[in-house]
């Protein structure tokens, strides 16, 4: 309740820029949800909101842009999706077929940007292979691979598979989380795009995540 009252008081004078510091800190899940819903509602009120938080899940849910601070300097600033895409560089992709893929691995290995492609059983865990993985056996109905360019590579892979007669039933992509992005920025420093390239004043809603200590 105190957080909700504080938020209401902050809005009394209709500020053009609203700063919120850990607005859900110490709240139970239901109260935190209520505060987040209030913040989301403010996104459409023609004002800029700067949210300081160490809760990366909250930052991803609420922010249009996320800035990461390291030793007093912004080392990364972009949308959550683009930050995740740039951070680790690679997306894990798992393609499952209705039955064994009729194509050998060589049929897709020529696609640029495709890394570590392997056939495996749908019963196997991520990265676990039953055979050498170069040609699907009777039990291998999954193709897995990694790529740094999923938006470019995935359509090419699927086109090649479907053209070759494969019956694709699902495609799962696992991209880095904001936690991965944060950890990378803390270790390696600035990512490819900095604050100068993506000014905060272009965003209606931003989240500043700052290192402890």
pLDDT in tens, 80-100: 888 887 766 688 899 999 988
pLDDT in tens, 24-49: 888 889 988 988 888 888 887 778 88
CATH 3.30.70 domain locations along the chain = 90-174
128-152 average pLDDT score: 72
119-142 average pLDDT score: 64
**Could you tell me which of 211, 205, 184, 179 has the C-alpha nearest to residue 48?**
205
DSSP 135-149: S--TT--EEEEEES-
Q: What is the pLDDT of residue 101?
A: 87
Fold topology of 90-174: Alpha-Beta Plaits (3.30.70)
**Homologous superfamily of the 2-86+177-210 domain (CATH):** P-loop containing nucleotide triphosphate hydrolases (3.40.50.300)
- Cα angle 31, 33, 34; round to 5: 65
9-35 average pLDDT score: 85
56-64 average pLDDT score: 90
DSSP 2: H
Pick the most confident of 81-85, 120-124, 208-212. 81-85
Share of the chain above pLDDT 70, in %: 77
The whole-angstrom distance between residue 154's C-alpha and the CA centroid of its chain comes to 17
CATH 3.40.50.300 domain locations along the chain = 2-86+177-210
């Amino acid at each position: 309740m105190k957080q909700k009252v504080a938020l209401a008081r902050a809005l009394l004078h209709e500020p053009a820029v609203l700063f919120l510091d850990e607005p859900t800190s110490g709240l139970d899940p239901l109260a935190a949800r209520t505060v987040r819903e209030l913040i989301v509602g403010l996104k459409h009120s023609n004002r800029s909101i700067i949210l300081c938080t160490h809760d990366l899940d909250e930052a991803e849910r609420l922010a249009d842009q996320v800035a990461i601070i390291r030793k007093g300097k912004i080392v990364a600033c972009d949308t959550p999706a683009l930050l995740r895409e740039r951070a680790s560089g690679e997306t894990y992709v798992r393609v499952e077929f209705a039955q064994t893929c009729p194509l050998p691995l060589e049929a897709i290995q020529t696609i640029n940007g495709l890394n570590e492609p392997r056939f495996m059983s749908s019963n196997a865990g991520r990265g676990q292979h039953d055979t050498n993985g170069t040609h699907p056996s009777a039990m291998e109905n999954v193709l897995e691979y990694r790529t740094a360019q999923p938006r470019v590579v995935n359509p090419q892979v699927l086109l090649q598979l479907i053209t070759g007669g494969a019956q694709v039933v699902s495609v799962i992509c696992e991209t880095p989380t904001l936690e991965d992005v944060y950890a990378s920025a803390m270790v390696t420093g600035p990512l490819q795009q900095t604050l100068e390239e993506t000014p905060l004043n272009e965003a209606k809603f931003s989240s500043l995540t700052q290192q402890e200590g």
